[in-house]
Copies of this chain bind each other. A is one copy, B any other.
Amino acid sequence: MNIAFVLINTDMGSEAEVSKALREIEEVKDVYGVYGVYDLVVRLEAESMQQLKDAIGNKIRRLKNVRSTLTMIVIE
């Protein structure tokens, strides 16, 4: 299993909307709103690195109101 964490900053005031959209992505397993530098912590799982890449690059990063992302690939 390929796992990644994505730390997300959203546009101000759109955390709930982005969380909802994230939860509809198949590879997204957990979404947490957090206090601090980042707004959301997202955990993803995928069958392959290719699928993980696709979920981050083509799904998460293209969501409306996602301002920036910091991706951390989990070391197997």
Which residues does chain B contribute within 8 Å of A32, judged by CB atoms? 3, 5, 74-75
In the complex, what distance in Å separates the CA atom of A32 from the CA atom of B13?
A: 22
When all copies of this chain in the complex are counted, the total is 8
Count A interface residues, CB 8 Å.
35
Bitwise, A1-15 to B at CB < 8 A (1) or not (0) is 001110001001101
Once the chains bind, are A33 and B74 in contact (CB under 8 Å)? yes
With A32-B74, A70-B36, A75-B57 as contacts: A62 and B12 at CB distance below 8 Å = yes
Which residues does chain B contribute within 8 Å of A5, judged by CB atoms? 32, 34, 41
Which chain A residues have a beta carbon within 8 Å of chain B's beta carbons? 3-5, 9, 12-13, 15, 32-38, 41, 49-50, 53, 56-58, 61-63, 66-76
